[in-house]
Amino acid sequence: PEKIGIQQSPPLVYDYDNPAEVGFNSARGRIHELAYLGSQTTYHVVLDSGMTIKVSKANDARHDAIGLAVGGEVYVWWWGSDVVVLTQ
């Protein structure tokens, strides 16, 4: 998905565009590394499955103010409508 959310707690019903997606389209992991790039921070998250996913988030607050740090447990999630299957 193009747009991925990241937070310390599991996503709730109001995080999704469709309430039926609660419990789906999310994964738990730990922040392996992060890069602060001025207007955005990029997080490399190792999921419980072992896969690594990269999440970029606009810096609307200082990254340490929202509590996301290397080694911290996080949840990543996305709307089902943001997923596009590539066939080629």
Cβ-contact 17, 24 below 8 angstroms: no
Residue 56 has pLDDT above 60, yes or no: yes
CA-closest candidate to residue 23, choices 10, 38, 39, 8: 10
State mean pLDDT over 14-37: 83
Within-domain flag for 88: no
With 0.85 as the threshold, say if the pTM is over it: no
Within-domain flag for 62: yes
CA-closest candidate to residue 65, choices 41, 46, 85, 37: 41
81's CB contacts (< 8 A; 6+ apart) are 17, 18
pLDDT classification of 34: cutoffs 50, 70, 90: very high
**pLDDT reported for residue 76:** 94
Tokens of 7: 């937070």
Within-domain flag for 87: no
**pLDDT reported for residue 61:** 66
In total, how many domains does the chain have?
1
